[in-house]
Amino acid sequence: EGVQPQEYVLIKMEVIPPFPPQLKALEGKKVYLAAATLRPETMYGQTNCWVLPDGKYGAFEINDTDVFILTARSALNLAYQNLSRIPQKPTCLAEISGNDLIGLPLKSPLAFNEIIYALPMMTILTDKGTGIVTSVPSDSPDDFMALQDLVSKPALRGKFAVKDEWVLPFKVVPIINIPEFGDKSAEKVCLDLKIKSQNDKEKLAEAKRMTYLKGFTDGTMIVGEFKGRKVQDVKPLIKNKLLEEGTAVLYSE
Ligand code: A2H
């Protein structure tokens, strides 16, 4: 963890009932996979959610109705940020492995796709954010490559019991134009740098450097309520809209 606190937006990705056996203890609750993001303005382009297959997650009571699935570490932090039914004390209703989350159907705010699925990503860190990441392959090189891996490697899908229909057809949803990179900046930069997989760390770091700042300074929204406006102008507006409608909360660590 850095010296400065990092503020994330937690996107509430709602698990669509009926719940599978491993979530039966949560019946009757509103259950969300809580994904930590620095780019709330990209939520229009969500195509899926990422979990770490070997990751340990828990279902924690946030208030009387809502349950968040995330790491115990982040649940403890949330409990000190007024996001726990009992202040400063996380209550875990069920322990769940990442493998048990794969294939869950989710409804996520702003996403054009009505239903998106939780899928495996090998590079998720359990000591950052919530251990849950939302996937925007148009604008995130990590997300693009992790999805590309699942799409191009049937054996990888087989290993994690990922059904073909959860990843195919592979459709990137264009949401932001960057003059230098077009409407699918992450895809373009991954192809230009000839990145082989989600594990190609150095090249992915370079791809992120190339796209991250440019998306903010030079990006224009090409979809949604703020279509035609600059990313840097609408980022706080979209963030506040999500917070006000209750589909996201702030989280610092
Ligand atoms: B970002 P920082 Cl479109 N492990 O959200 C790995 N990655 C994680 C994570 C974890 N435990 N928790 C969050 N992240 C990702 C959107 C996005 C993101 C776009 C473009 C770039 C981007 C959609 N995925 O991040 O190390 C989340 O992905 C580029 C850095 O705290 C989160 O924002 O700076 C970002 O990394 C937080 O990374």
* Least confident residue range of 49-53, 201-205, 208-212: 208-212
Check whether 17 has a pLDDT greater than 80: yes
Ligand 1 contact, 143 CB (< 6 A): yes
**pLDDT, tens digit, for every residue of 109-163?**
999 999 999 999 999 999 999 999 999 999 999 999 999 999 999 999 999 999 9
Residue 186 and residue 143: Cα distance in Å, rounded?
Answer: 9
Q: Which CATH class is domain 7-252?
A: alpha beta
Ligand 1 contact, 29 CB (< 6 A): no
DSSP string, 169-235: S------EEBTTTBT-HHHHHHHHTT--STT-HHHHHHHHHHHHHHHHHH-EE-SSTTTTSBHHHHH
**pLDDT, tens digit, for every residue of 56-113?**
999 999 999 999 999 999 999 999 999 999 999 999 999 999 999 999 999 999 999 9
**pLDDT, tens digit, for every residue of 213-241?**
899 999 999 999 999 999 999 999 999 99
Task: Pick from 7, 108, 135, 142 the residue to mutate for probing ligand 1's pocket: most ligand atoms within 8 Å of its CB.
Answer: 142
Q: Are 83 and 70 in contact (CB under 8 A)?
A: no
Ligand 1 contact, 58 CB (< 6 A): no
Check whether 1 has a pLDDT greater than 60: no
134 CA distance to ligand 1 middle (Å): 8
Q: Please report the ipTM that was assigned to this predicted complex.
A: 0.99
Q: Is 60 exposed, middle or buried (0-12, 13-18, 19+ CB in 10 A)?
A: buried
Give domain limits for the chain: 7-252
Nearest CA residue ID for atom 19, ligand 1: 140
> Given this model, what pLDDT does residue 141 score?
98
Residue 241 and residue 201: Cα distance in Å, rounded?
Answer: 34
Of 59, 62, 51, nearest in space to 131 by CA: 51
